[in-house]
Structure 1
Amino acid sequence: MKRGSTLFLKIVVLLMGIAILAACVIPLPLLATEVSKRAPEFTKLLYPILMTVYITVIPFFIGLYQAIKVLTFIDKKVAFSERSVHSLKWIKYCAIIISSLYVLCLPLFYFLADKTDAPGIMIIGLILTFASIVIATFAAVLQRLLQEAISIKSENDLTV
């Protein structure tokens, strides 16, 4: 892979991180204060959802860091190494944690959507859950393929 394409992917990963950080710092607190002013009856449902979002940011950033590590390994031409497998394992675990937290939070999304008569809120919860599941599955498949490629490479290195 050319250095330009990995540089582009690193920039995309960094922009994703900046966008999520900006969303957690600016609009989400404003949303919480605005909802608590206009409709205090929804505050009991909104705050646990916001806490879940803030908790899931931690594994999200860990996963982004691991993605940057994998891209760095590709740049250094050591992509087929145990370190890459380890990073993919961390990405998989982070995605599983995120999807699990949103699965636990789906009833809150449902109650909030039911009370506000806005089904889009439930769709947001489902999209966040299933996107994390897709990422976890993709990371698991890549981890397995990379592990098999490493074992084949080590067998070939031992063959005379």
Structure 2
Amino acid sequence: MKKVTTLFLKIAVILMGIPVLALCIFLVPELGELAEQLLPEITYINFLVSIIFYASAIPFYFSLYQAFNLLRFIDKNNAFSVLSVNALKIIKNCAITISILHVFVLPLFYFYAELDDAPGVIFVGLVVPFASMVIAVFAAVLQKLLQEAIDIKSENDLTV
């Protein structure tokens, strides 16, 4: 049962990477061009927006890799280890990095909302930073709980 569950989660982790890859290929260049149209006075805004979005994809894929490693540790009955705590720490740091990078792009959403007279666009721009911070907090809580469980386990091993 546990192998089937972790296999399902591994497949889900792999499938989560496909839409982000498609967004990086198809949507990021269009967002760069849109930024260039919105802010023509800023010379390299197209490249700046593209770099920020592509740079946020790197920690996303790195955190997916760490989540995949975490599932491998569970398969090997090695979930309560320092390696799992480190994987959760890396996932937390990657989520914080993604959130910070996307906060830099929020003014672009503001300018687009002003141009199109659609204030809801700003909330769309807040989705990724907010979701990333929720993931970071969740990973931090799991990291702390796992570290406490490891500490209790090591105390119990010493009292035998």
Fold in common (TM above 0.5): yes
Amino acid at match of 1:107: P
Query: Within 2, Cα distance between the matches of 1:141 and 1:31?
Result: 34
Is 2:112 aligned against 1:116? no
Query: Within 1, Cα distance between the matches of 2:25 and 2:151?
Result: 44
Offset of residue 123 of structure 1: 1.5
Q: How does 1:47-66 map to 2 (within 5 A)?
A: 47=46, 48-66=48-66
CA change 1:52–1:124 in 2 (3 A) is: farther
Residue matched to 2:18: 18
Residue matched to 1:80: 80
Residue matched to 1:68: 68
Query: Within 1, Cα distance between the matches of 2:61 and 2:157?
Result: 36
Residue matched to 1:141: 141
Moved more, 124-133 or 102-111: 102-111
Structure 1 portions without partners, runs of 5+: none
The size of the alignment, in residue pairs, is 156
The 8 Å contact of residues 67 and 91 in structure 2, kept in 1 or not, is answered as yes
The 8 Å contact of residues 17 and 61 in structure 1, kept in 2 or not, is answered as yes
Offset of residue 121 of structure 1: 2.7
Moved more, 43-52 or 148-157: 43-52
Offset of residue 116 of structure 1: 2.5
The 8 Å contact of residues 91 and 139 in structure 1, kept in 2 or not, is answered as yes
Amino acid at match of 2:38: F
Moved more, 123-132 or 111-120: 111-120
Residue matched to 2:156: 156
Amino acid at match of 2:77: K
Amino acid at match of 1:41: Q
Query: Within 2, Cα distance between the matches of 1:108 and 1:28?
Result: 13
**Which of the residues 37, 43, 48 maps onto 1:41?**
37
CA change 1:77–1:85 in 2 (3 A) is: same
The 8 Å contact of residues 28 and 53 in structure 2, kept in 1 or not, is answered as no
Query: Within 2, Cα distance between the matches of 1:115 and 1:49?
Result: 18
Moved more, 51-60 or 40-49: 40-49
| CA offset digits 1:42-75 (Å, max 9, x no partner) | 2648734443221100110011000000000001
SS in 1 for 2:19: helix
Amino acid at match of 1:149: A
SS in 2 for 1:78: coil
Query: Within 2, Cα distance between the matches of 1:105 and 1:22?
Result: 19
TM-score relative to the length of structure 2: 0.87
Residue matched to 1:96: 96
